[in-house]
Amino acid sequence: MNPTRLWAIARKEAIQLRRDPRSLIMAFLLPVALLLFFGYAISYDVNNIEMAVVDESGSERSRALVHAFESSGYFDIVEYPARYADVDDLLQRAKVRVVMVIPPRFDRELAAGRDAAVQLLLDGSDANTATIAQNYAAAIVIRYSSDVLLHARRFVLPVEAETRVWYNETLESRNMIVPGLVAVIMSIIAAMLTALTIAREWERGTMEQLAATPVHRLDVVIGKLLPYVGIGLFDVALAIVAGLLIFGVPLRGNILLLAGLTLLFLLGALSFGMFISAAVKSQVLATQVAIQTTYLPAILLSGFIFSISTMPIALRAVTYAVPARYYVTVTKGIFLKGVGPEVLWVEALAMIIFAAAGLTLAIRSFRKELE
Amino acid sequence: MPEAVRVNELTRKFGDFTAVDRVSFVVERGEIFGFLGPNGAGKTTTIKMLTGLLRPTSGSARVAGFDVGREIDQVKLNIGYMSQLFSLYHDLTVLENIQLFAGLYGVGNDRFADRRDWVLEMAQLAGHQDRLTGELPLGVKQRLALGCAVLHEPPILFLDEPTSGVDPISRRNFWDLIYGFAASGTTVFVSTHYMEEAEYCHRVAVMNRGRIIALDRPRSLKAAIQEPVLEVTTAAAPRALEVLRDAPGVIEVTMFGRAVHAMVEDQAAAERQIPEILAAAGHSVESIRPIEPSLEDVFVSFVHRSGGTLAE
């Protein structure tokens, strides 16, 4: 390695980057756009579920049950169809997702101290929302029945679970998504940024001139990486600020630890992009390969959206080979749990291995010899 | 340092195809050494092996006294290389390109200002150092590329078809630069497919189908030609060329401006027969006369003598 040559390459790369609008957009605009887009679009929070109520009982007791739904905040009662026959139409047109039917004998059965059934119809075409709605509705109905029971018999429930959620007290999915999102976006951007860099030299014929100089391939690879490492760190900082200010996500851990682990992750992801670039020697193909190999694994197999612990064993094994998996754990851990090296050393070790492997691949695949 | 370049049985194969076939030669220091031959003859492949861009399949070569297989870093420090495809960075300015190559060749800060000014003047770019390289005319770019390739003042310069695609005046200017380098002691190894450029070289190696088929001073090469060459002027030279190609006693015909050069076996017989053959095909001959062979004719003659056909 020769510092003068390495610096000459890094400087040249930075100047080229500055003059290339496509790279600038990818480096500075795309990450922010993705963060805003995904940050607002992905949400598992289910509030104000549209609901219809067919109250055939029309009693004080049935109105109390409807009120329990309304005041929960989870349901928004938008329709009171008079007849049961109208229900089908409402569900089909997706005007409502939940329908509750209270039968005429509801009041009588309760008054007599017998079981009274209410019917809940759920739109299963959005299974996720349906499941959540079902749980909320069941909870409200159970609460209501126990009130009825306690009121009638003057009992106290023997066991009551007092739940408290740690790390994300309000269970806002945004708190969980944004830190993971930073990791996912950087996986994609990092590989795409460097995917262009060596392929461009081959396409423009500048590689030959470079190869005829005494510059070593280590100088070329490291020199080319430097400006992108700078951009990557800047992007992460930008995403963190946006997460804090726009999405109000808490940052509980050490920001320097986050910066250090981010650097490790970027080294791996950027060298991987460079490896692709040197291996395929075409900008278009390299970009395609970079997107294909980072986008889906980062979204599906990193634990960003889908919990790794619930995956089938075979798929769980695959996730160990996805670098984003470790970085997602790091960002979530530092943002939400405020954990330190005593927990994250495993991830740090994994990312060191990925960085070393990426650099080795990039340097080895980069042939200065023209075949 | 002994000779600038010593090549021994150098061979390069691409699969079954032998691009360079057991080539041996020596280039003396301070010489302008020309490499002449059609596209695909193996000139570029040979130069790439000598500049460390391609590994030889077999054989050996020493450049500036260093082995191209084992001491490639030393070789690269002692050579400048400029290829037929202009390959500076178009999105860098003139100065930025100079700075980049100064950095890569290890031109220190103490020498940089001198070398920069020298390149700017040589490329006629003084006062234009902040222009984007991509915006420069081709001839100027070529001079800048040459300047960047010799920033470190290498003793040996490799130029692979440096003037292809450049207009004749720029080409002439470029050769003035090459003479300048040679005058100051630099060895220049230059390949070209322009026959008239080969006349400027001290010695010329003629290459065809991976082999060197002749190597000598241009004048000696011409003197060595035994076959007489006739210049035939007719109204429709291209069609006359087609007719004469298969005529008996004619070895090879080439277009030369508006005339046809015919290399023949027997001068007297040909001077009699060619007008008859052309007349039979409906072409009248305006003049026919023996001429001093050009290097192009030399090339044709040597290909003929080596029993081969032209590459391509």
Q: Is residue B117 part of a domain?
A: yes
Q: Do A208 and B101 touch (CB under 8 A)?
A: no
B164 and B208, same domain (yes or no)? yes
Q: Do B104 and A5 touch (CB under 8 A)?
A: yes
Mean confidence (pLDDT) of chain A? 86
User: Per the CB < 8 Å rule, is A5 touching B96?
Assistant: no
Ordered domains of chain A (ranges, CATH):
3-42+172-365 (no CATH), 49-153 (3.40.1710.10)
For the stretch A149-174, what's the b/e string if a residue is b when 16 or more beta carbons lie within 10 angstroms of its beta carbon? eeeeeeeeeeeeeeeeeebbeeebeb
What average pLDDT does range B285-295 have in this prediction?
83
Specify whether B213 is located in the same domain as B230: no
Whether B298 is covered by a domain: the verdict is no
Give the count of beta carbons closer than 10 Å to the beta carbon of residue A81.
18
Domain shared by B206 and B166, yes or no: yes
The closest alpha carbon to B20, from B166, B209, B273, belongs to B209
- pLDDT of amino acid B227: 81
User: Of B54, B89, B102, which is closest to A16 when you measure between CB atoms?
Assistant: B89
Interchain CB distance below 8 Å, B91 and A213:
no
With beta carbons less than 8 A apart as the criterion, state whether A100 and A51 touch.
Answer: yes
Closest C-alpha among A100, A145, A142 to residue A118: A100
At B312, the pLDDT band (50, 70, 90 cuts) reads very low
Residues on chain A touching B13 (C-beta within 8 angstroms): none
Tokens representing A154 are 């003057």
Q: Residue B12's Cα: distance from chain center in Å?
A: 19
Residue that finishes a domain, picked among B221, B246, B261: B221
What are the backbone dihedrals phi and psi of residue B97, each rounded to the nearest 5 degrees, phi first? -65, -45
Bridge partners of residue B260, in order along the sequence: B232, B255
Nearest CB to A15 within list B88, B90, B92 = B92
Same domain, B103 and B242: no
CA dihedral B63, B66, B71, B76 (to 10 degrees): -40
Domain final residue, candidates B199, B221, B243: B221
Question: Is residue B305 situated within a structural domain?
Answer: no
How would you label B207-237 residue by residue, b for 16+ Cβ within 10 Å and e otherwise? bbbbbbbbbeebeebbeebebbbbbbebeeb
Which chain B residue has the Cα nearest residue A16?
B91
Tokens representing residue A221 in the block: 């690879």
Average pLDDT across chain B, whole number: 87
The label of the residue with tokens 């980062």 reads A298
Residue B272, both tokens? 């009699």
Q: Same structural domain for residues B139 and B183?
A: yes
Q: How many domains are there within chain B?
A: 2
The answer to whether residue B270 sits within a structural domain is: yes
Q: DSSP string of A168-222?
A: STT--HHHHHHHHHHHHHHHHHHHHHHHHHHHHHHHHTHHHHHHTSS--HHHHHH
List residues of chain B with CB under 8 Å from any CB of chain A: 48, 51-55, 73, 76-77, 79, 81-83, 85-92, 96, 99-106, 145, 149
User: What is the pLDDT at residue B28?
Assistant: 92
Q: Which residues of B touch A13 (CB under 8 A)?
A: none
Chain B neighbors of A9, CB-CB under 8 A: 100, 103-104
| Nearest residue, CB atoms, B100 vs list A2, A8, A211 | A8
> CA A362 → CA A9, A26, A225, A268, B81, distances in Å?
16, 21, 10, 10, 26
Do residues B33 and B166 share a domain? yes
Rg (CA), chain A: 28
- Whole domain around residue B82: which residue ranges? 5-221
Q: Residue B284: which pLDDT band, with cuts at 50, 70 and 90?
A: confident
ipTM score over 0.95, yes or no: no
Q: Do A204 and B86 touch (CB under 8 A)?
A: no
**Which DSSP helix (H) or strand (E) runs through B267?**
helix B267-280
Answer yes or no: are the C-beta atoms of A288 and A196 closer than 8 Å.
Answer: no
Whole-model pTM: value is 0.77
Neighbours of A352 (CB within 10 A): 14
Look at the block and give the residue holding tokens 């207009």: B167
pLDDT at A360: 93
Per-residue pLDDT tens for B251-273?
A: 888 887 788 888 888 888 888 88
* pLDDT surpasses 50 at B219: yes
- pLDDT, one tens digit for every residue, chain A (371 residues): 888 999 999 999 999 999 999 889 988 999 989 888 888 877 666 778 889 999 888 888 888 889 988 888 888 888 888 788 888 888 888 888 889 988 888 888 888 878 888 888 888 888 777 888 888 888 888 888 888 777 766 666 666 666 666 666 665 677 778 888 888 889 889 988 898 888 888 888 888 888 889 898 899 999 999 999 999 999 999 988 988 898 888 888 899 999 999 999 999 999 999 999 988 888 899 989 998 888 888 888 888 888 888 888 988 999 898 999 999 999 989 988 888 888 889 999 999 999 999 999 999 887 765 55
In a shared domain, residues B94 and B144: yes
What was the pLDDT predicted at A114? 80
Looking at the structure, do residues B274 and B180 belong to the same domain, yes or no? no
| B89 to A8: CB separation less than 8 angstroms, yes or no | no
Give the CATH number, domain containing residue B190: 3.40.50.300
Rounded CA-CA distance A113/A148 in Å is 10
Q: What is the pLDDT of residues A293-349, one digit of tens each?
A: 888 888 888 888 888 888 889 889 998 989 999 999 999 899 888 888 888 899 999
Q: Which residue in the block uniquely carries the two structure tokens 């200010």? A: A245
Token readout for A352 is 């060191």
Q: Which residue in chain A has the smallest CA separation from B87?
A: A206
Q: Do A205 and B51 touch (CB under 8 A)?
A: no
Classify residue B136: in a domain, yes or no: yes
The 10 Å CB-count burial string (b at 16+, else e) for A17-56 is beeeeebeebbeebbeebbeebbeebeeebeebbbbbbbe
What element of type H or E holds A318? helix A313-319
Q: For residues B35 and B149, state if they share a domain.
A: yes
Cβ-nearest to B55 among A7, A211, A369: A369
> Does the beta-carbon distance from B88 to A212 stay under 8 Å?
no
Neighbouring C-beta atoms of residue B274, cutoff 10 Å = 24
Query: Looking at B170, B202, B221, which one is the last position of a domain?
Result: B221
Q: What's the whole-number mean pLDDT along residues B125-144?
A: 90
Residues of chain A with Cβ-Cβ distance to B82 below 8 Å are 209
Q: Find which of B63, B83, B100 to mutate to test the A interface (most A CBs within 10 Å of its CB).
A: B100
pLDDT of residue A224: 94
* CATH number where B237 lies: 3.30.70.100
The answer to whether B195 and B29 have CB atoms below 8 angstroms apart is: no
Query: Higher pLDDT residue, B131 or B260?
Result: B131
B54 and A370 within 8 Å at the Cβ level: the answer is yes
**Are B232 and B203 within one domain?**
no
Of B51, B92, B103, the CB nearest to A212: B51
Residues of chain B positioned with their CB less than 8 A from the CB of A11? 99-100, 103
More confident: B209 or A370: B209
The Cα A141–Cα A326 span in angstroms is 42
How large is the greatest C-alpha to C-alpha distance in chain B, in angstroms?
A: 74
Spell out which residues of chain B touch residue A15, defining contact as CB-CB under 8 Å. 91-92, 96
Chain B residues touching A19 at Cβ < 8 A: 91
Whether B60 and B187 map to the same domain: the answer is: yes
Same domain, B65 and B81: yes
User: How far apart, in Å, are the Cα atoms of B300 and each of B144, B200, B310?
Assistant: 35, 19, 8
Question: Looking at the partner chain, which of A8, A15, A208 has a beta carbon nearest the beta carbon of B104?
Answer: A8
Compute the distance between CA of residue B226 and CA of residue B264 in angstroms, rounded to an integer.
Answer: 10
Closest residue of A to B104, CA-based? A5
Residue A18 is which amino acid? R
Tokens of A45: 């929070």
The one-letter code for the residue type at A184 is: V
